[in-house]
Amino acid sequence: MNQVPDINGRFGKFGGRYVPETLMNALLELEEAYKHYSKDPEFIAELNYLLNQYSGRPTSLYYAERLSKHLGGAKIYLKREDLNHTGAHKINNTLGQGLLAKRMGKTKIIAETGAGQHGVASATVAALLGMECKVFMGEEDTKRQELNVFRMKLLGAEVVPVMSGTRTLKDACNETLRYWVSHVEDTYYILGSVTGPHPYPMIVRDFQRIIGDEAREQIQKEAGRLPDYVVAAVGGGSNAIGIFYPFVNDESVKLIGVEAAGSGIDTEEHAATMTKGRHGVFQGSLSYVLQDEYGQVLPAHSISAGLDYPGIGPEHAYLKDTGRADYFPITDAEALEALQLLSRTEGIIPALESSHAIAQVMKLAPTLDSDQTIVVSLSGRGDKDVQSIMGYLGGTANESH
Amino acid sequence: MNHIDAVFQELREEGETALIPFITVGDPDLGTSVEIIQALEQAGAHMIELGVPYSDPLADGPVIQRASERALKHNVTLIDCIQTAENARQAGVKLPFILFSYYNPVLQFGLERFFSLIVEKGISGLIIPDLPIEEDGEVRAKAEEANIHLIPLVAPTSHDRVTHIASKARGFVYCVSSLGVTGERSDFHKGIEAFLSAVREATTTPIAVGFGISSREQVERFEGQADGVIVGSAIVRKIEEMVPLLQSPATKQEGLEGIRAFVSALRG
C-alpha cells in the first residue's frame, strides 16, 4: 500500500495538481529538486543533524500511566512531538523544506499558518538558514493567536494578515499561493501540511514520517510489540500522516484520525471534513472537502485554529476510502475537557489540536483491555493556547469565531 | 463551426484583434449581468467571458475576489451563470460566450450534465483556470465531443510545456501576460514578446493575451502580436464603481453607460 503517490501525484483517485498553469513549472521544479536531494547523502546528513541537535529529536514515547489508570483500559503512550524545538511537529517539515529551498537557490521563503505553529516553525528555519520569511495568516487567526504572531516577528519574519474570504487558514493558503505565483523565481513556498498540489502532500509526509518511524521502534522496545491503535488529530493532516505512514503496512495496527467537530457535526460550525464533506477539488488536490451542493467551499469552525480547515490531505482521503484508517469527530467541548484531564493527570498541557486526539483516546481506552496499547500523537504543546483557553474556561473574551 | 472560430475568422479577414471582456456573473445581480453583457456588445466586444463566482478563486486578485463575494452574497450558482448566457441570447446578444469556472463547481455538477447544459444554453467555450493539461483529460474529451472549445492557459513560465499545451488548444490559447494573479498592472513579464512569439510558432490556433490589461495603450501594444486581448479586472473594477448607480432604477442607465464608455475606449 506504500506505493503512493504515483507519478501523477495520485493516492488512488485523490491528489493531483489542480493549479493555475502559472504554478506548474514551479511544482515540476520542486519535484525534480526533491527527488534529487532526498537521496543526496549530504542533504540527509544535514537534515538529521538539525533534527537531532537543533530540534532535539528523537522525541520520547512516554507511557502516560496516570492517564491510563484514570481512564481504565488500554495503556496510553504519548509521542511527545510537543517537546520539539518551537513546540510542535511542524519543525520536522520546515527544517526539511528549508534546506531544500536553500539547495534550490531560493533566497526567500513564504508560508501559510493557522494556529501559528507552522508559521513559527518556518520563521525559525528562515532565521536559522539566513533567509527572508513572510508568513500569511488569516486576520481572524492573528487575533486568536497573538502570541505566535509576536513570536514570528521576534524571529524576524513578516506576518501578513489575510483579509480575504473567511480570514482563516484556508484564505491564508489561497493568499500564499497567489503570492507565490507572482514571486516563483526567487521564493520557496514551505507548505505546512500534507495538502495542496503534488508534490507537497508527498514531501510533507516524507519529512513528517520520522514521527511514526521513531514511534514504531520505540513502542516495540517499550511494549515488546506493535500498538493496537495509533491516534492523531487531523486538520490538514501532517502529524497524523507522519505517525500513520510507517504503520500502514502493519495490518494489526488500527489507525484513527480525529477531526474537529466544533460545536457539533449537526450544527453549521465544525471542521469535520471526513464526516460531513464530499470528494472535491480544493487548493490544488482532489480530496474530501466541506462544501455546499454547488461546490462552494464552506467555512470551517473549530476552537483550534490549526484544525479550522475545510479540506484534508489527499492521502487521508485515500486511507479513509480504502478502509485503512477511520476518522472520528471531537467537539470543542470534548477537546477542552481532554486538555484539562491531561494537564491534571500528567502535568502536560497539550495544544488544542492535540487535545482532540486525547479526547478520542478518552472514549477509546476504556473500551480496551489493559494489555492493549494506544500510541497517540501529542503533536504540540498548549502554551500558545493558554490565553484563549483562559477565555473559554474563565468565560471571558477572546472567543473563537 | 464553433461560434468562436467563426468570429476569429471574420476578424482575421478584417485585420482586427478580438476584444474579450470578462465579467463575474451575478455582480451585482443576475438581471444586471444581462444588461452589462448587452452594453459590452454595444461597446464593440467580440466575445465574452462569463466568470462563475467561486469561494476560493486562487488565480484571481482582489478585484475579482470582491466581485465573487458580491455575487455569492445572493447565492449565484453555476446553473445561474449558464442560464445568464441564454437570457442574454434571448435579449438579442449575438456574441460567443465563454464560461470561466474553477473546477470544483463543474465537478460537483457532474461533467455529463454540465456539458449537455452548456451546449443547450448556447455556450461555445470553456476556461477552467485550475485544470492544467496534466489533469484535463476527461474534461477535454467531453468538450471535444460536445464541440465546446476548452481554452487552455499558457504562462511565461510554461517554457517547454507551451508546444504541448498549444497543440491541444481549441478556440484560442490564453496567454498569461505576467506572473501573478489577475489584476491591473503597469508592467508585463519582461520576456512577454519572446513568449508570445513562442506560442505563435507553436500553433495555428488564435492566441489571446490577458492578465493585467486595463488601458487603450496596453490593448494597442498587443494588437499586433495577438489575435485577441482579454480585459478582466479593469472591467470588473469599473462595474464595482458603477454598483451604486446600477442598483437604483433611476440611475441604472447611467451606470451601464459608464461601463459601455470604458469598453469603447479600450477598443479605440
| Residue B60 known to be catalytic | yes
What's the confidence (pLDDT) of residue A397?
44
Contact A135, A152 (CB under 8 A): yes
% residues pLDDT > 70 (chain B): 100
Burial class (CB in 10 A: 0-12, 13-18, 19+), A393: exposed
Q: Which residues, listed in sequence order, are joined to residue B97 by a DSSP beta bridge?
A: B48
> Measured between alpha carbons, how far is A11 from A16 in angstroms, rounded to an integer?
8
3-state SS assignment for residue A161: strand
Q: How far apart are CA A151 and CA B259, in angstroms?
A: 48
Nearest to B104 among A17, A171, A280 (CB): A280
Give contacts of A 174-213 with B, CB under 8 A.
Answer: 174, 177-178, 181-185
Position B190 scores a pLDDT of: 78
Q: Which residues of B touch A164 (CB under 8 A)?
A: 62, 65
User: In the predicted model, is pLDDT for residue B159 greater than 70?
Assistant: yes
Catalytically annotated residue among A55, A75, A102, A112: A112
**Hey, which residues 62-91 in chain B have their CB within 8 Å of chain A?**
62, 65, 69, 72, 77-78
SS3 of residue B25 by DSSP: coil
Point out the least confidently predicted range of A194-208, B35-49, B139-153, B185-199: B185-199
What is the predicted pLDDT for the residue at A146?
A: 87
B103·A18 Cβ contact <8 A: yes
Nearest-CB residue to B77 (from A170, A184, A294):
A294
Q: What is the model's pLDDT at position A164?
A: 87
Q: In angstroms, rounded to a whole number, what is the distance separating the alpha carbons of residues B179 and A14?
A: 28
Q: Which three cell numbers stand for residue A80?
A: 511527545
B225/A contact by beta carbon, under 8 A: no
Chain A from 290 to 309: CB within 8 A of any B CB: 291, 293-298
Q: Among B5, B41, B49, B80, which one carries the catalytic annotation?
A: B49
Any A CB within 8 A of B61 CB: yes
Which set of grid coordinates corresponds to residue A54?
Answer: 537543533
B89 to chain A nearest CA, in Å?
A: 24
Higher-confidence position of A394 and B80: B80
User: Is there a contact between A184 and B179 if contact means CB atoms under 8 Å apart?
Assistant: yes
pLDDT at A395: 59
The residue with greater pLDDT, B167 or A305, is B167
Please tell me what DSSP assigns to residue A53. Answer: I
Of B57, B109, B176, the CB nearest to A21: B176
Q: Which of A20, A26, A283 sits opposite B129 (nearest CB)?
A: A20
Give chain A positions within 8 Å (CB) of B56: 165, 170-171, 174, 282-283, 297
What gap in Å lies between CA A176 and CA A397, rounded to an integer? 30
Residue ranges of chain A whose pLDDT lies below 50: 396-401
This prediction has a pTM of 0.96
- B176 neighbourhood in chain A, CB within 8 Å: 21-22
Q: Give the distance from residue B55's alpha carbon to the nearest chain A alpha carbon, in angstroms.
A: 6
Does the pLDDT of residue B167 top 90, yes or no?
yes
Q: Do A19 and B179 touch (CB under 8 A)?
A: no
Is A142 within 8 Å of A171 (Cβ atoms)? no
**Chain A to chain B, count of Cβ pairs less than 8 Å apart?**
115
**Phi-psi region at B148: left, alpha or beta (left = phi > 0; alpha = psi -120 to 50):** beta
The amino acid occupying position B119 is: V
B135 chain-A contacts, CB cut-off 8 A: 16-18
- Nearest chain B residue to A281 by CA: give it: B104
Per-residue pLDDT at A401: 43
Which candidate from A178, A289, A294 shows the least CB-CB separation from B78? A294
Q: Note the pLDDT of residue A328.
A: 98
Q: Rounded to whole angstroms, how far apart are CA atoms A376 and A366? A: 15
Query: So what's the pLDDT on residue A2?
Result: 53
Q: Which of A8, A283, A294 sits opposite B134 (nearest CB)?
A: A8
Asked if A304 is an active-site residue, the reply is: no
Residue A1 has a pLDDT of: 52
Is B58–A178 a contact, with Cβ atoms under 8 angstroms apart? yes
Asked if residue B142 has pLDDT above 60, the reply is: yes
Q: Which residues contact B35 (CB under 8 A, 6 or more apart)?
A: B252, B256
Tell me which of A187, A294, A297, A309 to substitute to probe the interface with B (most B C-beta atoms closer than 10 Å).
Answer: A294
Would you say B112 and B81 are in contact if contact means Cβ atoms under 8 Å apart? no
Would you tell me how many other CB atoms lie within 10 Å of the CB of residue A159? 20
pLDDT at A181: 87
Grid cell locating A95: 527544517
Q: Give the ipTM.
A: 0.95
For the packed helices A386-394 and A332-346, what is the interaxial angle rounded to 10 degrees?
110
**Catalytic-role residue among A75, A90, A102, A384:** A90
Which pLDDT tens digit goes with each residue over B227-243? 999 999 999 999 999 99
